[in-house]
Amino acid sequence: MAITARRLVLIYAALTVLLNVAGLLPGNPDYSSPWGFVGSVLIQALIVWRLWHGSGIAWALGLLMALLALFATVLSGMPSSEVGFDLFALVLFAQAGVLSVLPVAGLTSLRRQPASP
């Protein structure tokens, strides 16, 4: 994986941490329970770990989760006057943006060894 791709994965991981912090602020979309929060963090950690190792499926799942959560956030009342809700939507948008500049071909093609003649 190229250095720039690894840096983008680290940026995505930092945005994931910010997303979870935004989820704890007042006026945000709440998690279903403490176990819902733990499950969400574990799934996000799994996606970041697989992105680090160049998984195209993890890239697709991460992008899909960010876009669907952003869509649900917009449908549920965005824009709002509450900072936590707006920060949550902004971080989701940034996650989708980071993953959209991280192409699947760039992640997976570097793992293949060229055939020798």
- Check if the beta carbon of residue 112 is closer than 8 Å to that of residue 54: no
User: What token pair was written down for 56?
Assistant: 């195209």
Write out pLDDT tens, residues 25-61: 665 556 667 787 888 889 999 999 998 888 888 888 9
- Check if the beta carbon of residue 22 is closer than 8 Å to that of residue 28: yes
Going by C-alpha positions, the residue among 36, 39, 22, 13 that lies closest to residue 73 is 22
pLDDT exceeds cutoff 90 at 14: yes
Write out pLDDT tens, residues 69-117: 888 877 876 666 666 677 778 888 888 888 888 555 466 554 555 555 5
- Check if the beta carbon of residue 85 is closer than 8 Å to that of residue 77: yes
The verdict on pTM exceeding 0.85 is no
C-alpha angle 78-82-83 in degrees, rounded to nearest 5 = 100
What is the pLDDT, as a whole number, of residue 91?
A: 84
